[in-house]
Amino acid sequence: MGGNHGGPGRTLGIITLVVSAVLGATFLIGRNLVPDPPRHGSNVTATGADHPEYADQSAPSTEESGADASPTPRPAEPTPPDAPGDDPDVGPMGTRVSTGGAEVALTFDDGPNPDYTPQILAILREFHVTATFCVVGQNAEAYPWLVQQIVAEGHTLCNHSWDHDVTLGSRSPQRIQSDLLRTNAAIRAAAPEAPIAWYRQPGGAWTYPVINVARELGMTPLHWTLDTSDWQLPGATNITASVLAGVRPGSIVLMHDAGGNRQGTVNAVYRMLPKLTGRFDVRALPKRGM
């Protein structure tokens, strides 16, 4: 009565367990053979920031999207004469990532903006600090009085494209040139005598064509040393802490005065400047480029 309980059912159950164990072991072995995605150790970010108003600013990283970390190889492109090597002032594709001296440069992207740019200008004025404003052409056209105020108070201007096109570098040289010239024209309509010696590509999405066109127009490609990630809205305390902990002699600090809610950035600038100016000479980048 009790010697053959389960019969075929018990045999089937044992077979199922064995098959499951084999499949599980195969999955684990295969998973261990897949390499982990690369980690980024530099504080120089090649893709820059993402803004609510500029939803296409930067593509997700391979770690976030699960995409293949090894892109399809592209044909070799000519190396600019100031390509990065041992020079700490030179970054991606020959862009500028340092002031070249002991001074620190604060840079503000995406403006001008009538809510946040005047607040930042007032704080800089209070602490006797000049900065560099990377302006978007359509905003310069919309708020010319803010461009005039930026120039009148001794700050440096930087071209940041007409409408913050992250993909601008992938377009034809003629299209790139048209975009940059249109932006310069909007800036000069507000401030005819103001030099525009710098160009910063939206998202830090540099390509050789956009670098070449910028240089042909007399502008130095400007990257950054320290990205505060204020575009993620981490709050004034975190923005302040990231600057004070990460800044070094020669740092170019990336922040934003438009492209979303920038009140946290405004408050952070007010908090950080007393300590920052006590440690460094904080000033705008040269108006004639480098």
Q: Which residues are catalytic?
A: 109, 256
CB 89 within 8 A of CB 243: no
Q: What is the tally of helices (H) and strands (E) in the chain?
A: 9, 7
Give strand pairing partners of 106: 253
CA 244 to the chain's CA centroid: 19
- Identify each DSSP E strand in 96-231 by its residue range: 105-109, 132-135, 156-159, 196-199, 220-221, 226-227
- The values of phi and psi at residue 199, to 5°, are -135, 130
Residue 201 is given by DSSP the state -
Q: Tell whether the torsion through CA atoms of 31, 32, 34 and 36 is positive or negative.
A: positive
User: Which phi and psi (to 5°) does residue 106 adopt?
Assistant: -90, 135
